[in-house]
Structure 1
């Protein structure tokens, strides 16, 4: 099967970029999502992720991309007031009948080179089927839902200006989050909330349910299963699961928008 993807970019690491973790950047992100969130860890690499992802496919295919999954492996919180470095690479391209996934791996380090986090960003090219199986995919998430009733849940109203505030705070200005016309052209009902904004809000609920500080969070992962619109309500449900937690997120109709959520804590 022919395909439009450039396989030569797989495992081609970007040059190192530097990001200044200023108090203003931290506060802006917290203000956008309603409080401090470990998902701020994605911000230093936001522009780099887009730049690296765009090397894998022609520009016209980028209109078909949705954020499929995020997997954060966290060693330490970002050091406020210091500089960090980021590198990224497309590490896998995998196809199926409904489309093709591109997996981008990001590594963030502090000023002396110690690891702060790794991120697996999974993009899904809707309606671009291939038989590709190149490189590695993101770590697997649970296929079965949690058992029994949740141990905690919390509902958060998503304000109508959340997409614009999150775009400014995160650096993610994808127009499907900002322009109704562009969003509809991409097959969406209109502007949608960033998946990472929903995850940032959900993560705060998970940590509250666990009674844990951000520094104890070792992994935070979920699948973005359905868009949620600004003005809707995100309800995060949390289940204790051994030494960690499972979670999901529902929109106002009860449909799952964050699925297969996993939060692992260090002792």
Structure 2
């Protein structure tokens, strides 16, 4: 019998209203190195956790890591105004090494217009199932990247980045804050939030493009990266947009299948 609750698939949460404050936006920017469209995840953080917890027994939450993120932007977050969010587990899919839960979030402004859509893919390591319920997140590009990158930048990851990012984003998952908890979950110790790495990498992509607006941003979190390490982001121009990845100080890919489609 599966430990996951299939009855939650495609069952939307109640709506939540959250104010997007200038102070919150600025605090996030201070942690990740500048204003970032990835801040769109912060207002939805508590809701994502609540929806996931409805599908997954509490004892399995210690096994979860962020597998993939995909953001579709329709308009900028309205700073100083309130947004309304709802979320649902839209898919549960298993394989031999674990099970993924795909969570979709919709954010709307006061007029009811769609601001952004988010696809959060959680991976429950070591929890194999044969589930194939609902839908997965939109596919990310998997074809190899050809030629040298258009732009490369290396960013040191401060030892206290997980704590700073937790406070700025609202993501206080203990695998990012408690060494003992992280090791008990099968990790080498505290790891940097995948979204913190993505926000830093996004700044490099936008710097390479010379633009600030995005229509889509996505990547896979392929390997944990430790605080105190470095993140080297590599950017390639690709079909009117950009592909990117990022490696740690040991040249191991930690962000893969990165895609950034810019506004015209």
Judge same fold: TM > 0.5, yes or no. Answer: yes
RMSD: 0.7
Matched, 1:256 2:253: yes
Q: How does 1:127-206 map to 2 (within 5 A)?
A: 127-206=126-205
Q: Secondary structure at the match of 1:230?
A: coil
Q: TM-score, normalised by structure 2?
A: 0.99
Q: Secondary structure at the match of 1:76?
A: coil
Could you tell me which residue of structure 2 aligns to residue 220 of structure 1?
217
Q: Across the two proteins, how many residue pairs are aligned to each other? A: 264
In structure 1, distance between residues paired with 2:166 and 2:144: 31
Could you tell me which residue of structure 1 aligns to residue 118 of structure 2?
119
In structure 2, distance between residues paired with 1:69 and 1:136: 14
* Preserved contact between residue 33 and residue 203 of structure 2 (Cα < 8 Å): no
Could you tell me which residue of structure 1 aligns to residue 49 of structure 2?
50
Could you tell me which residue of structure 1 aligns to residue 26 of structure 2?
27
In structure 2, distance between residues paired with 1:249 and 1:164: 21
In structure 2, distance between residues paired with 1:255 and 1:115: 37
* Preserved contact between residue 217 and residue 258 of structure 2 (Cα < 8 Å): yes
Could you tell me which residue of structure 1 aligns to residue 17 of structure 2?
18
Gaps of 5+ in 2: none
In structure 1, distance between residues paired with 2:191 and 2:30: 19
Q: Which runs of 4+ in 1 moved over 2 A?
A: none
Note the C-alpha offset of 1:127.
1.0
In structure 2, distance between residues paired with 1:169 and 1:77: 19
Note the C-alpha offset of 1:94.
0.6
Note the C-alpha offset of 1:144.
2.2
Could you tell me which residue of structure 2 aligns to residue 63 of structure 1?
62
* Preserved contact between residue 25 and residue 39 of structure 2 (Cα < 8 Å): yes
Q: TM-score, normalised by structure 1?
A: 0.98
Q: Secondary structure at the match of 2:111?
A: coil
In structure 1, distance between residues paired with 2:126 and 2:177: 23
